[in-house]
Amino acid sequence: MTAPGTLLSVARTLDRCTVLGPGPRAVVWVQGCPLRCAGCVAAETLPFEGGTTVPVPELARHLGALTEVEGVTLSGGEPFTQAEALAELLDAVREERPGFTAMAYSGFRHERLRRGTPGQRALLDRLDLLVDGPYVAARHAALRWRGSSNQRLLALTGRYAEEVARVLAEDDTTAGVELSVGADGSFSWAGVPPVPGFREGFEEQLMARGLLPRPDGRKG
């Protein structure tokens, strides 16, 4: 029997998304965040318990085979609590696809991560784009790929530098949210909500139409 290798705790994955970073991207939401931003849109990803434990090589193979996407966005949860495993994940995907791009969200500021653990610095060194800082509900804004105006969109390599400069200078508006239908017919959504409280209202509408099960399992 072979060892599973490094493990990641994952809340959810999406094979294709066009509203969480440039171009079509896969998304990996990790499980667990030490912060508690009021109004966090991903409350189910905050506990470190739960999630699905996934071997890094298995997830790398899955991402590498997604030929329609140009990269992955790491969200959560807090990606930098599993930074070493995520750095290993990016290295593994790039063995087969050297041009595979990486973007990440973090509730921590870039400067703090640069002074962080070796794993956090390793992950930063492998990212093309970072959205940093906690979500601040009082500063909610309909910005490209960010939830509140304190959060920065930082190009860490030249890969998206021109696009980031253009967005910030001319086109810094919400990318909206995107609905996906799974192979089993289930609905899910992804994106940065353009208005506070969006998630509750949107999910209520989906539940009323029977497109999302209610927490008690009822439909409609």
Rounded least distance, CB 148 to ligand SF4, Å: 9
**52 by DSSP, 3-state: which?**
strand
Measured distance CA(148)–CA(157) in Å, rounded: 23
How many alpha carbons lie under 13 Å from residue 65 in its C-beta half-sphere?
Answer: 6
Residues in contact with ligand SF4, total (CB under 6 A)?
13
**What is the spatial distance between Cα 23 and Cα 16, in angstroms, rounded to a whole number?**
10
Q: Which residues pair with 102 in a beta bridge?
A: 72
Q: Does 88 bind ligand SF4 (CB under 6 A)?
A: no
* SS3 state of residue 206: helix
Which one of residues 51, 71, 79, 107 is an interface residue with ligand SF4 (CB under 6 A)? 107
Give, in degrees to the nearest 5, the angle at Cα 124 between 118 and 129.
170
Contact call for residue 104 and ligand SF4 (CB under 6 A): no
193 binds ligand SF4 (CB under 6 A): no
**Which residue has the CB atom at the shortest distance from ligand SF4?**
107
Sole window of 18-26, 32-40, 51-59, 120-128 interacting with ligand SF4 (rule: CB under 6 A):
32-40
In the complex, least distance from residue 169 CB atom to ligand SF4, rounded to whole angstroms: 26
Site string for ligand SF4, 110-149 (x = CB under 6 A): ------------------------xx--------------
Q: Which of residues 48-87 bind ligand SF4 (CB under 6 A)?
A: 76-78
**To which residue do tokens 């290295």 refer?**
91
Residue 5 or 47 having the CB closest to ligand SF4: 47
Give the pair of three-digit tokens for residue 144.
């490209």
First to last CA, the chain: 46
H helix count then E strand count, the chain:
6, 11
Residue (140 or 159) nearer to ligand SF4, CB = 140
Point out which residues bind ligand SF4 (CB under 6 A): 33, 35-37, 40, 42, 46, 76-78, 107, 134-135
